[in-house]
Structure 1
Amino acid sequence: MRYGVVRALAGGVLVLGALSGCGMLGGNSGQVCTDTKKAFQQYVTQVRSLPAAEPARWRQATEQLAGRLDGLAKKADDAALKKALKAEAGKLRSAATAVGTGDVSQLNTVMKETPASIGEACD
């Protein structure tokens, strides 16, 4: 799992870079984008501290991120942002199941695609 972990975290760094424009929007969407960026930052920090040999803890962290994105989707006034956040939460939940068995390939894919989907909604 170690190699996959490194790839997943590299994807997380890309997510943070793509969301750097968050907060540029007015009103509620700007705050939701800023909170989304913070959620990903906290996730990356958390999983970097977890041993690669403990996939159950990785699963828990990934499920928590999915829950945070669901909560942010409920707050979002913008329909496109709400949709993007819900979609990412669903993908993360699905990836969390595989992560729990030590397979991070699905998480890698999610982390690679997240910048485009959420970043576009936050622009």
Structure 2
Amino acid sequence: MRYGVARALAGGVAALGASVLLGGCGVLGGGGGTAQVCADTRKAFEQYVTQVRTVSAAEPGQWRQATEQLAGRLDGLAGKTGDGDLKKALTAEAVRLRAAATAVGTGDASQLNTVISDTPARIGRACD
């Protein structure tokens, strides 16, 4: 992976970490029947951030695998909620993550950066 791409990817993960880990209480807090799925979603993103922070930017296959795993977790969480808006948001993010995983597997981090930047707000709207 080229240095600039690696640096951009690392910056995107840092942004996700800040959004989910530090500011996530209001963004992925949830309420009512969605509270557990929202909490589990937040945990899935926290685990993803922890995992990818240990992966070298020079290993795009590992980034791809971690991102695909996150997408799978979001699909699973979508199946656990009865809230239509939350289900739709989780399913849509899983699709975006899978597309980004394909690109990042070839060394192109731009799509993953976009998804990572937008995901907390998109899912957060459904959890509020």
Please indicate the TM-score interval, normalised by the length of the shorter structure. Answer: over 0.9
Q: CA deviation at 1:10?
A: 2.2
Q: Structure 2 residue aligned with 1:2, among 6, 9, 18?
A: 6
Distance 1:99 1:71, change over 3 A: same
Q: How does 1:44-123 map to 2 (within 5 A)?
A: 44-123=49-128
Q: CA deviation at 1:99?
A: 0.5
Aligned to 1:40: 45
Give aligned-pair identity as a percent: 61
Distance 1:104 1:14, change over 3 A: same
Aligned to 2:31: 25
Output the TM-score relative to the length of structure 1.
0.93
Cα-to-partner distance string for 1:66-119 (whole Å, 9 max, x where unaligned): 000000000011000000000000000000000001111000100111122101
Q: CA deviation at 1:41?
A: 0.2
Q: CA deviation at 1:2?
A: 2.0
Q: Secondary structure of 1:75's partner?
A: coil
1:19 is matched by which residue type in structure 2?
G
Once residues 116 and 23 of structure 1 are traced to their aligned partners in structure 2, the CA distance between those partners, rounded to angstroms, is 12
Distance 1:100 1:24, change over 3 A: closer
Structure 2 residues without counterparts, runs of 5 or longer:
none
Once residues 119 and 18 of structure 1 are traced to their aligned partners in structure 2, the CA distance between those partners, rounded to angstroms, is 11
Structure 1 residues without counterparts, runs of 5 or longer:
none
RMSD across aligned positions (CA): 1.3
Structure 1, 1-10 or 44-53: larger mean CA deviation: 1-10
CA contact (8 A) 1:23 1:30 kept: yes
Once residues 94 and 48 of structure 2 are traced to their aligned partners in structure 1, the CA distance between those partners, rounded to angstroms, is 13
Output the TM-score relative to the length of structure 2.
0.89
